[in-house]
Each structure stands twice: as C-alpha cells, then as structure tokens.
Structure 1
Amino acid sequence: MAPQRKTSREKKQADPINWTKVGAIAIAVLFAVMMAASLLGTAWIGGMRAIQPGDLVVIDYTVYNEMDIPILTTQEIVASQADQFVYLSGPIEVSAGYSPNEDVIAIPDRYNSIAPYALFRTEFQEITAAPIGYRERDRITVPFTFESADAPLERNLTAEQIGEMGYEFDNLTVGEMIALGFADNPQITLDDVEPDIRIRFAFIKEKTEDSVIVRYGYSYAVVTINSVTAVS
C-alpha cells in the first residue's frame, strides 16, 4: 500500500511575523543612528555638501612664486623636498571666506624658532575663500589676482640698503632669495628689526652695479581642505 501524502494543512507552517519585535528593532536602530549623529554634530554634514561662507574649515596651504618655488607651507613634506628653505607653519582653522582687518597677517613658525611670516590680507583672504563651493579633501589651486601691473610688489634697493639688511651686495645674484622685514602694512622695513616685525621672502629680479630690484609678490597658493564643520 503506497504511503499517504500529508495534506498542506498537515505541513508545518512558517511562524507568523512578529511585527512588535520588528518595530522594536527598527526603533533601536533609529535611536543608534540618532545618537551617532548627535555625537558627530554637524561635521558629517560638512563633508557631504559644498562648503558655504562661514563654515569652519581646517586647511593646509602652500604659497608659490612665479617660478613654482614654494615659499610658505603648512606641509612638512613640501618643506623637506624643496631645494631651498621654505617657511613652515601649521594648518589653520578658519571660517570660509574670513577677511581680517589687518593689512599684514602674522603667520607663526611651526616651532616658534623664527619671526612670524608676513602674509598680506589679500593673500590670506583668497586662501580662506578658496574652499567655498568645494568639499572636504578637495585640493584647489588659487591664483593671486589682486596685484596690479601698474603697482607690482617690487622694490628697488640700493647697495647701501642691502648692506643695512645684513647682506653682501656683491655676492647677491639674480634669482637669489632674501628676507625682508614688514610692519603692520605692506611697506618694506629697512630699520633695525623689532619684535613685531614679520619676515617675508623676496627674490632678486634684476641687479645693476649699485642696486637691485627685489620682487616680494607671489603667484598662487595650493589649498587642501582637511575637514569641514557646517554652521547650519
């Protein structure tokens, strides 16, 4: 006699879905997500959307002259790989688009071993405005466009003035880098260096028998956005 098949009613039916349990799990997951978001604050939002004016950003930057020579940097690798001395500072935390009131911004040496660096307000403003419209980890090349061809950032210095600055005039060559002193506005200081003087590197552009033209204007900066905190 052939074995009888079990009817569908006799088969073991699947357990019904426990909607109460599912709902409890969903609420627990949502609660965990909300807790994580509250701990992160608005920083995670900043990494997802384009940076807006006023957002808090942490940036690295390197300033270059027309010959693509790094002058001022916040990255040790740039300073260590350069063929000449590069002023090394540290990353800055600033509001995107921030514009200072001072004509000359004192950029501190990373190790506080030398005088602060003189960065002009227009340069600093273009660096802080660069992240606007970009996102975290973006790398931006920022041209310095404020300089006028009719008023270049250059200065004619006599052999006597060069000597007062501590350099041997006869030994200077075109392309050589020298350090200038700046006070609270973009005017070269030729007097004795005082505690509030900032230094700024310039390059010998031209040289005659009794004078040199030094250029202390720069061409562009490369800005890297390390982190973003949205303000709204």
Structure 2
Amino acid sequence: MYFLMKSDKKVKTDKKKSGGMDWKKAALIIVGVLFAVTMIVSSLGTGWLVGLKAIQAGDSVVVEYTLRDSYGRPALTATERTYTTAYENGELVWYTGPISLIAVGTTGEVVAPVPAFRDDYGEADFALFGQEQNQIAAGLPGMKQGETKRITLTDTDQFQQDITGEQFDGMGGNFSVARIGDQFPLAFMTSIVEDNDQNTTVKYAVRTAYVTGKTDQNISISYAYPVADISIVQFTSS
C-alpha cells in the first residue's frame, strides 16, 4: 500500500494577496483618465459652457423666429426651410434674417420695420410691430443656446377690422372673389421724410393680411400673428 507523503519542505508564499489593490497602478490609471478629460475639455474651449447657461434679463440675444397667422401659416420667417415650403405652397410668406434683441428689452416703436424678401417681389421692409418684438424679448429669459420655443402673442384683437366691400376694393382687393383665408399684402406708413427742397417722401412697410369673414356687403380682415416660434442662435451675457 502506498501513501502520498507530506513534504517537509516549506513553500515560500507571496506576501501579496491575490485580491489586493495595486495602488500604484490605480493612481497611474486615474492620472491618465484625468489627463484625457482635460485634453477633451481643452479642445472644446469654453463654447460648451454657453449651452449650459440660461439667458437672463439684459443679455444680448440673436433670435431666429417665425410669425404665424391664425391659420398657422408663416407670414414672416428667418428659417429658410419654412420660407421655401410656404412659398412653394403659394402662401404670402416673407423671408428675413435673425433679429438681435435684449432679453426683456422694449421698444417704443409702433412699427419696427425689418428687412424682408420674396422671390417674386424682391426686397421690402416688413412691418414687425413693436409689441410683437417686446413680447418675444420678454419670453427669452431661461432659454439656452439652440433651444426652441413657441410663444403665444397677446393683444392681437386690435389687428382685426371689419370694412365694407367698397373699402376693400379701394385698398387694392377684389371683394367679389375674396374668400375666407385669402392672403394679401397690406402697407403701413413708417415715416415721412422731407428734404431741403421740401419734397416729402413717405416710407411704407408691408405686412401679410388675410380674410377672416365675409358677408354680402362687408369683409373682415386681420393682420394679427398670434404665434411666434423662436430659436436661440446665440447670446452674450450682459
């Protein structure tokens, strides 16, 4: 009968425990990760911080915007795709550029003309109303760069009128064929300029109006835009 005999030889064991932490290696890994993060943040610059910051009152803001009528159609837009789609659909839409505003800033102007364009018309001044501009500016605080928002514009009932068919024709319309929803351009006087020779020049800005009602003798028109879609292009803190 044979037995395995226990050896008297002592076996040297590693004092390190197999499950223990190698702190030197761990420290090197942590330093490496921190270095990589630092390099990434440095390559991004400080621009990424802007996206985390919210607009405050007094900040200078560049806004891309679209004003829509009661039927949801864009009347004035700084978004090229919106303009192109509406124009190709035969709508009376005007293309403009982003507007620079002061958050919560106000203007005392009744009409604040902005440059606009249509493919079939060319360049013109569009009659943006001061109260529209003020309400957009009031809705900016709290927004961040790249954020979009829909603002409901108030006090638009004053931009509606009931006129006779004769008055409508006198404005350049055609009462007999006019239908609810029809769009037409409406001019607003913005200034009167008199030169040294006492010649007077009246400047106008155009606005898209539309028919909201009609009877046998009268017609209801509106040039109100109750909705503004806005997007923050960039802003600078005050």
TM-score (norm 1): 0.72
**Matched letter for residue 128 of structure 2:** L
Q: Aligned pair count?
A: 207
The one-character-per-residue Cα deviations of 1:168-223 (angstroms, maximum 9, x if unpaired) are: 221211110111122249xxxxxxxx741111111111112232110111211010
**Matched letter for residue 73 of structure 1:** T
Alignment partner of 1:224: what SS? strand
Alignment partner of 1:116: what SS? strand
**Matched letter for residue 174 of structure 2:** E
Pick the structure with greater CA Rg: 2
CA contact (8 A) 1:102 1:184 kept: no
- Map of 2:4 onto structure 1: none
CA contact (8 A) 1:115 1:197 kept: no
Q: For 2:182, which of 176, 179, 193 is the aligned residue? A: 176
CA contact (8 A) 2:156 2:225 kept: no
- Map of 1:190 onto structure 2: none
**How far apart in 2 are the matches of 1:126 and 1:104?**
14
- Map of 1:25 onto structure 2: none
Q: For 1:77, which of 75, 81, 86 is the aligned residue? A: 81
**How far apart in 1 are the matches of 2:74 and 2:230?**
13
1:109 and 2:109 correspond = no
Q: CA deviation at 1:146?
A: 2.8
Is the alpha carbon distance of 1:154 and 1:143 closer, same or farther for their aligned partners in structure 2, counting shifts above 3 Å? same
Is the alpha carbon distance of 1:178 and 1:139 closer, same or farther for their aligned partners in structure 2, counting shifts above 3 Å? same
Q: CA deviation at 1:66?
A: 2.0
- Map of 1:225 onto structure 2: 232
The one-character-per-residue Cα deviations of 1:11-60 (angstroms, maximum 9, x if unpaired) are: xxxxxxxxxxxxxxxxxxx9xx99x97xx6xx765432111111121110
**Matched letter for residue 52 of structure 1:** Q
- Map of 2:134 onto structure 1: 125
Q: Which runs of 5+ in 2 are unaligned?
A: 1-37, 192-200
Is the alpha carbon distance of 1:110 and 1:128 closer, same or farther for their aligned partners in structure 2, counting shifts above 3 Å? farther
Alignment partner of 1:125: what SS? helix
CA contact (8 A) 1:130 1:223 kept: no
1:65 and 2:72 correspond = no
**How far apart in 2 are the matches of 1:146 and 1:204?**
19
Q: CA deviation at 1:110?
A: 4.5
**How far apart in 2 are the matches of 1:223 and 1:160?**
38
CA contact (8 A) 1:139 1:222 kept: yes
CA contact (8 A) 1:204 1:213 kept: yes
Query: RMSD over aligned Cα, in angstroms?
Result: 3.7
Identity across matched positions, percent: 28
CA contact (8 A) 2:56 2:141 kept: yes
